[in-house]
C-alpha cells in the first residue's frame, strides 16, 4: 500500500468504486480506495440490483439516466460483465390518483428525453401475463428499466478505476482520521497511515462511524429491507424475461430472477437496523427473516399476481441499507470542514451510484458538481437533523416509499420541531402549518371554528377560497405574514463592501438602501438570490433562502481569503413579519416615529427604527407586488412586535396570510423564487434578472460567464404563461408545448386570485420565448392552451409597490 495519495475514498461499495472511477475519468489518477473487507461488503452485495430512471426530482432523474447508460461503457473498459438485464419496466396504477401521477410522470419524461409510454390494462396484461388486471387502472412502460448484478457492477467500476491508475486496498479498515494544519489528512488504517489531500466518506452502512472519526453526526439510518425469491414458474421457461414491475398500491417491486420471481416490499412498519452504531464485524451477513412483518404486503402481492401465491418461496433476503431523512443521497463537501467529502445515504446505488460519482468527482476536480444536484447536497441538513429526527423521518419516508406525495401534502413525522416565539399566538388564528427545514410556518388560515385541514390532491383543494380571501385582504387592505423562514447572514467588517461586491452580481447598495442580487458560480449560473440590505458603512444584512443557509455558508467561507470580513449565519436570531397591502404604511406608521412617506422612505429603503417598543430593522420591500414592509427583530422581541402589529392592524382590516397566498401573489408579479426559477442550471439573463447584474463592475464571481451569456442570449428564457386551466393549476415540472412540440418546462404554478388567472412560470427555448400564442401546458395528461404574458399579470408598471 502506498503511503500518500491525492484522494482516499473510504469504502468499496457500489458508491465508493463509482467515485473512484469517476475521479480517474476526470483526470485524477493518484487516488486510492480503502475497503475494510472485500468489495461489496456493506449493503451492496445483497441488493436486488433493480434500476429505474424515474425520480420525483428531474435533476436526480437525469443522473439516474446517466447511471443506467454508463453500464455498457463500464463493461467495455473493464471487460467485467455488469450482468445487465434491460428488460423494460412497468409502473402500475391502482387508483385514479395514481393514474394522474403516471400521466404527470410521462409528461415530465418528454423534456427529460425519456421514452415513457402510458398503456391501458389490456396492453399491460399482454406485456405482463402474471398480473391480475382487475386491481389496476393503467400503467407506464419504460424501456430502460431492468436489473444488474451488484457484484459485477462493483467490480466493473473497480477494474475501470484501476485501469485509470487508481489503487484499491482490501482487508484494511480505516480506524481514524487526523487533519493536519494545512487541511490534508492522515488516514490511519490497520495496515499503516496514508497521507491524503482529500478524504471521501463512502462508508455506506458505516458512514456514520466514519463521520464520527471527524466529529460529524451524519443524518442517515439503515433500515431492514426484505425481498423473497420464489420457486421457478414453469410458464416462464423459454419466454422473454419478465418486465420489472413497481406496483404502487401493493407497495411492492418485482422482477424475474432466473426461473422464479424476486419480490420486495417497503412495508409500512419498517424497522431500523443498528440505530446508533453499526458493528464493525457485520460483513457479508444477512439479518434474520421476518416474513410476518411483510405478510400484509405479500398478501396484496399474491392477490395482484396470483401465480406467486401458488409457488413456494425459495429464498428470503433481509439486509440493511441507509437512508437520509428525505430518501435522497448526501453528497458533497461537508460545510465547515476542509477537504472532507461525503457520498453516502445512497438508497438506490444501482440507479444513482454513477450520477453520484460523476457529480462528486467534478466537484472535487473542477470545484463544481457540473449538474444541479441541489436535492442531494449534504449541506441541505443542519444541526436540526438530530439522530431522533433522522430516525423518525427515515421511518416515515421508508413507509411511504411507494405512496404518492401530493403537492399540497404535509408529512407529520418529527413535528413540530422548530417554532418561533409567536407559534402559540398564531395557532389561535387557525393556520395549516407547513414544515420547511424543520421550521413550522403558516400555509393558509382556515376560518375560525372550522378545521384547518385540506384534502391532498393534484387539483385545486378546499383551501382555494381561503387563499383567495387572504390575497384579497392584501390587495384591498393589509395582510400580515411571518417571514422568519428566510436565511439571514450578518456581514460586517472593513472589507464587507469589497467582499460583497466580489461575491454578488449586483452593485452594493448605499447605506439605508436595499438591492436584490443574484449570486453566480464561476460558470455564471445562479446559485443564490439575496436581498442585500445595508445597515451601516460596514454592516449588512443578507436575506436569502433558509434551506440553502449551510450551502451559502460553505460557499462564503471558501471565498473569504484576503478580505477583512465576518459573515455570520443568523436565520433564527432575526425573525420577522411582512405587512403588505395599501394600508400597510398606515399600519406601520402608527407604530414608528420615522416618516414612512415615499419621499422620506421610498421603495427599497432600509433602516433601523423602533416599532413600538421594539428595536427593529425595517425594509420597504415587496414580494407580493403591493406596498409592503419587512420588519426584522431579534427573536426575544418577536411576540411584542406581533401583538403590536395585530393590534394596530385591526381597525385597518388586517388579515393573516400564509405561504400559499404569498406564492400566488408573487406569481401574479412574475417574481422568481429560489429552487424553482432560480437554480444552478439557469443563467441570470435566462432568468430575466438582467437588471440585477451589474456588468459595469470590473470583477465579480461569474462575470466572464455572465458576459458570455448576455452576448450569446442564453439557451432558454423564463416566461409567464396564463393557462386556460379547468380544475387544476400547474404545480411544477409540467412540459410546455408550442405548436405541437415540447419547448420547455414549468418551474412554478398557482392560481392568481387577484387577476382571476391560472398562472405558470417556466423556461422555454430562446426562440420559443418570442411567441405569444400557440402554447399549451400539459396538466394531468391534458394539454391546456396557454398564452404568454408579456408583462406581469398584476400591476405591470409596478406602481403599487412603489406608491
Ligand X SMILES: Cc1cc2nc3c(=O)[nH]c(=O)nc-3n(C[C@H](O)[C@H](O)[C@H](O)COP(=O)(O)OP(=O)(O)OC[C@H]3O[C@@H](n4cnc5c(N)ncnc54)[C@H](O)[C@@H]3O)c2cc1C
Q: Rounded to the nearest 10 degrees, how much is the dihedral formed by the CA atoms of 768, 769, 770, 774? A: 60
CB of 110 to ligand X, least distance (A): 25
Cell numbers describing residue 521: 458560480
Which residue in 12, 335, 357, 680 binds ligand X (CB under 6 A)? 12
Residue 351 in the binding site for ligand X (CB under 6 A): yes
254 close to 301: Cβ distance less than 8 angstroms: yes
- Catalogue the E-assigned strands of 685-781: 716-723, 735-738, 741-752, 757-765, 775-779
Do residues 112 and 265 lie in contact, with contact meaning Cβ atoms separated by under 8 Å? no
Helix (H, G, I), strand (E, B) or coil at 759: strand
Confirm or reject binding of residue 439 to ligand X (CB under 6 A): no
Figure out which of the listed residues 21, 32, 41, 735 binds ligand X, where binding follows CB under 6 A: 41
Chain centroid to CA 690: 26
Which residues, numbered 696-715, are part of the site for ligand X (CB under 6 A)?
A: none
Residue 267: CB minimum distance to ligand X, A: 13
User: Between the CA atoms of 143, 149, 153 and 155, what dihedral angle is there, to the nearest 10 degrees?
Assistant: -160
Binder of ligand X out of 16, 355, 375, 625 (CB under 6 A): 16
Within 640-669, which residues bind ligand X (CB under 6 A)?
none
Reported residue count of the chain is: 803
**Quick one: three-class SS letters along 136-173?**
CCEEEEECCCEECCHHHHHHHHHHHHHHCCCEEECCCC
CA distances from 398 to 60, 90, 742 (A): 18, 21, 35
Kindly identify the residues of this chain, within the stretch 146-175, that bind ligand X according to CB under 6 A. Answer: 173-174
Contact residue for ligand X among 5, 8, 9, 14 (CB under 6 A): 14
Residue whose CB is less far from ligand X, 348 or 631:
348
Q: Which of 273, 347, 364, 260 is nearest to 305 (CA)?
A: 260
Question: Contact between 37 and ligand X (CB under 6 A)?
Answer: yes
Shortest Å distance, C-beta 225 to ligand X: 4
Among 15, 471, 731, 768, the residue binding ligand X under the rule CB under 6 A is 15
Contact 529, 674 (CB under 8 A): yes
13 scored as a contact of ligand X (CB under 6 A)? yes
The yes or no reply on residue 71 touching ligand X (CB under 6 A) is no
Q: Is residue 349 at the binding interface for ligand X, with CB under 6 A as the rule?
A: yes
Per-residue interface string for the shown chain with ligand X, residues 200-229, x marking contact by CB under 6 A: --xxxxx---x--------------x-x--
Residues forming a β-bridge with 153:
none
Shortest CB 564 distance to ligand X, Å: 40
Cell match 461569474: residue?
Answer: 702
Smaller CB separation from ligand X, 13 or 625: 13
Q: If binding is defined by CB under 6 A, does position 48 make contact with ligand X?
A: yes
Radius of gyration for the alpha carbons in the chain, expressed in angstroms and rounded: 27
**Residue 350 CB, nearest distance to ligand X (Å)?**
3
Near ligand X by CB under 6 A, which window of 199-207, 410-418, 463-471, 538-546? 199-207
**Cα-based distances in Å from 94 to 216, 250, 262, 402, 567:** 43, 8, 21, 12, 52
745 alpha-carbon distance from chain centroid: 17
- Smallest gap from Cβ 202 to ligand X, in A, equals 6
> How far is Cα 794 from Cα 669, in angstroms, rounded to an integer?
6
558 Cβ partners below 8 Å, 6+ apart? none
- Which parts of 258-287 interact with ligand X (CB under 6 A)? none
Q: How far is the CB of 189 from ligand X (least distance, A)?
A: 7
Q: Check residue 348 for interaction with ligand X (CB under 6 A).
A: yes
Using CA atoms, how far apart are residues 663 and 672, in angstroms rounded to an integer?
10
Asked if 402 touches ligand X (CB under 6 A), the answer is no
Q: What is the dihedral of CA 48, 54, 55, 60, to 10 degrees?
A: 90
Stretch touching ligand X by CB under 6 A, among 312-320, 489-497, 578-586, 782-790: 312-320
Among 22, 25, 46, 753, binds ligand X (CB under 6 A): 46
d(CA 784, CA 776): 5
Tell me if 590 contacts ligand X by CB under 6 A.
Answer: no
Residue 298 lies near ligand X (rule: CB under 6 A): no
Q: What are phi and psi of 149, to 5 degrees?
A: -95, 115
Instruction: Specify the stretch interacting with ligand X by CB under 6 A; choose among 14-22, 74-82, 463-471, 735-743.
Output: 14-22
Please say whether the beta carbons of 43 and 381 come within 8 A: no
Q: Which window, 7-15, 157-165, 558-566, 764-772, contacts ligand X (CB under 6 A)?
A: 7-15
From first CA to last CA, the distance across the chain in angstroms is 72
Only one of the segments 31-39, 89-97, 486-494, 772-780 lies at the binding site for ligand X (rule: CB under 6 A); that segment is: 31-39
Q: Is residue 34 close enough to count as binding ligand X by CB under 6 A?
A: yes
Does the protein bind ligand X through residue 50 (CB under 6 A)? yes
Among 23, 26, 42, 683, binds ligand X (CB under 6 A): 42
Residue 43 found at the interface with ligand X (CB under 6 A): yes
Q: Which is nearer to ligand X, 190 or 636 (CB)?
A: 190
Query: How big is the site for ligand X, counted in residues (CB under 6 A)?
Result: 42
Q: How far apart are CA 15 and CA 108, in angstroms?
A: 27
- The distance of closest approach from Cβ of residue 171 to ligand X in the complex, given in angstroms and rounded to an integer, is 9
Does position 10 interact with ligand X (CB under 6 A)? The reply is yes
**Residues contributing to the site for ligand X (CB under 6 A):** 10-16, 34-37, 41-44, 46-51, 173-174, 202-206, 210, 225, 227, 317, 319-321, 344, 346-351
Amino acid at each position: 500500500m502506498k503511503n500518500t495519495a491525492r484522494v482516499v475514498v473510504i469504502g468499496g461499495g457500489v458508491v465508493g468504486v463509482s467515485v473512484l472511477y469517476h475521479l480517474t475519468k476526470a483526470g485524477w489518477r493518484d487516488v486510492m480506495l480503502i475497503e475494510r473487507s472485500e468489495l461489496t461488503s456493506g449493503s451492496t452485495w445483497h441488493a436486488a440490483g433493480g434500476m429505474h430512471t424515474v425520480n420525483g426530482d428531474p435533476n436526480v432523474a437525469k443522473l439516474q439516466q446517466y447511471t443506467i447508460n454508463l453500464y455498457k461503457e463500464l463493461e467495455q473498459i473493464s471487460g467485467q460483465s455488469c450482468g445487465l438485464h434491460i428488460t423494460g419496466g412497468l409502473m402500475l396504477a391502482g387508483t385514479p390518483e395514481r393514474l394522474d401521477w403516471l400521466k404527470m410522470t410521462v409528461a415530465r419524461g418528454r423534456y427529460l428525453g425519456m421514452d415513457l409510454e402510458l398503456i391501458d390494462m389490456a396492453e399491460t396484461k399482454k406485456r405482463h401475463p402474471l398480473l391480475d388486471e382487475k386491481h389496476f387502472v393503467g400503467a407506464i412502460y419504460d424501456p430502460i428499466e431492468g436489473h444488474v448484478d451488484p457484484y459485477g457492477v462493483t467490480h466493473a467500476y473497480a477494474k475501470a478505476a484501476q485501469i485509470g491508475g487508481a489503487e484499491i486496498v482490501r482487508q484494511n479498515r480505516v480506524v481514524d482520521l487526523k487533519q493536519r494544519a494545512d487541511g490534508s489528512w492522515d488516514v490511519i488504517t490497520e495496515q499503516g497511515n496514508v497521507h491524503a489531500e482529500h478524504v471521501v466518506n463512502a462508508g455506506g452502512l458505516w458512514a456514520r462511524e466514519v463521520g464520527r472519526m471527524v466529529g460529524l453526526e451524519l443524518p442517515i439510518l439503515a433500515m431492514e429491507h426484505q425481498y423473497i425469491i420464489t420457486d421457478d414458474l414453469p410458464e416462464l421457461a423459454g419466454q422473454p424475461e419478465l418486465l420489472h414491475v413497481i406496483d404502487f398500491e401493493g407497495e411492492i417491486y418485482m422482477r424475474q430472477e432466473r426461473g422464479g420471481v424476486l419480490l420486495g416490499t417497503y412495508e409500512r412498519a419498517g424497522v431500523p437496523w443498528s440505530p446508533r452504531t453499526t458493528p464493525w464485524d457485520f460483513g457479508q451477513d444477512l439479518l434474520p427473516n421476518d416474513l410476518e412483518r411483510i405478510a400484509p404486503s405479500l398478501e396484496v402481492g399474491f392477490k395482484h399476481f396470483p401465480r406467486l401465491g401458488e409457488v413456494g418461496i425459495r429464498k428470503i433476503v433481509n439486509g440493511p441499507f441507509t437512508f437520509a431523512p428525505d430518501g435522497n443521497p448526501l453528497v458533497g463537501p461537508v460545510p465547515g470542514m476542509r477537504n472532507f467529502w461525503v457520498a453516502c445515504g445512497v438508497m438506490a446505488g444501482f440507479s444513482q451510484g454513477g450520477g453520484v460519482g460523476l457529480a462528486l468527482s467534478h466537484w472535487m476536480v473542477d470545484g463544481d458538481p457540473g449538474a444541479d444536484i441541489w436535492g442531494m447536497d449534504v449541506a441541505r441538513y443542519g444541526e436540526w437533523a438530530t439522530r431522533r429526527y433522522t430516525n423518525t423521518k427515515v421511518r416515515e419516508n421508508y413507509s411511504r416509499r411507494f405512496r404518492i406525495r401530493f403537492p399540497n401534502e404535509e408529512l407529520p413525522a418529527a413535528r413540530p420541531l422548530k417554532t418561533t416565539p409567536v407559534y402559540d399566538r398564531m395557532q389561535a388564528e387557525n393556520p395549516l402549518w407547513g414544515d420547511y427545514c424543520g421550521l413550522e410556518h403558516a400555509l393558509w388560515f382556515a376560518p375560525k371554528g372550522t378545521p384547518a385541514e385540506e384534502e391532498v390532491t393534484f387539483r385545486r383543494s378546499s383551501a382555494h377560497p381561503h387563499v383567495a380571501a387572504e390575497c384579497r385582504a392584501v390587495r384591498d387592505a393589509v395582510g400580515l405574514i411571518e417571514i422568519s423562514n428566510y436565511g439571514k447572514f450578518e456581514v460586517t467588517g472593513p472589507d464587507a463592501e469589497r467582499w460583497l461586491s466580489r461575491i454578488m452580481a449586483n452593485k452594493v447598495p448605499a447605506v439605508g438602501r436595499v438591492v436584490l442580487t443574484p449570486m453566480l458560480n464561476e460558470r455564471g449560473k445562479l446559485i443564490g438570490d439575496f436581498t442585500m440590505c445595508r445597515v451601516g458603512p460596514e454592516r449588512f444584512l443578507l436575506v436569502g433562502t433558509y434551506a440553502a443557509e449551510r450551502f451559502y455558508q460553505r460557499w462564503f467561507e471558501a471565498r473569504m481569503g484576503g478580505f477583512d470580513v465576518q459573515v455570520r449565519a443568523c436565520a433564527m436570531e432575526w425573525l420577522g413579519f411582512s405587512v403588505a397591502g395599501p394600508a400597510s404604511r398606515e399600519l406601520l406608521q402608527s407604530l414608528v416615529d420615522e416618516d414612512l412617506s415615499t419621499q422620506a422612505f421610498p421603495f427599497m429603503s432600509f433602516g433601523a427604527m423602533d416599532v413600538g417598543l421594539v428595536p427593529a430593522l425595517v425594509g420597504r420591500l415587496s414580494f407580493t407586488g403591493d406596498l409592503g414592509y419587512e420588519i426584522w427583530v431579534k427573536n426575544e422581541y418577536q411576540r411584542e412586535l406581533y401583538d403590536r402589529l395585530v393590534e394596530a392592524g385591526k381597525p385597518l382590516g388586517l388579515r393573516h396570510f400564509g405561504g400559499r397566498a404569498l406564492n400566488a401573489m408573487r406569481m401574479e408579479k412574475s417574481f422568481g423564487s429560489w429552487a424553482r426559477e432560480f437554480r444552478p442550471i439557469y443563467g441570470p439573463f435566462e432568468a430575466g434578472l438582467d437588471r440585477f447584474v451589474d456588468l459595469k463592475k470590473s470583477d465579480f464571481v461569474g462575470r466572464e460567464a455572465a458576459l458570455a451569456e448576455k452576448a450569446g442570449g442564453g439557451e432558454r428564457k423564463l416566461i409567464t404563461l396564463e393557462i386556460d386551466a379547468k380544475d387544476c393549476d400547474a404545480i411544477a415540472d409540467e412540459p410546455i408545448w408550442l405548436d405541437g412540440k415540447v419547448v420547455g418546462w414549468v418551474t412554478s404554478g398557482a392560481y392568481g386570485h387577484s387577476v382571476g388567472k391560472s398562472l405558470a412560470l417556466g423556461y422555454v427555448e430562446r426562440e420559443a420565448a418570442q411567441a405569444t400564442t400557440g402554447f399549451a401546458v400539459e396538466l394531468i395528461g391534458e394539454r391546456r392552451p396557454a398564452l404568454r404574458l408579456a408583462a406581469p399579470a398584476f400591476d405591470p408598471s409596478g406602481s403599487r409597490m412603489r406608491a
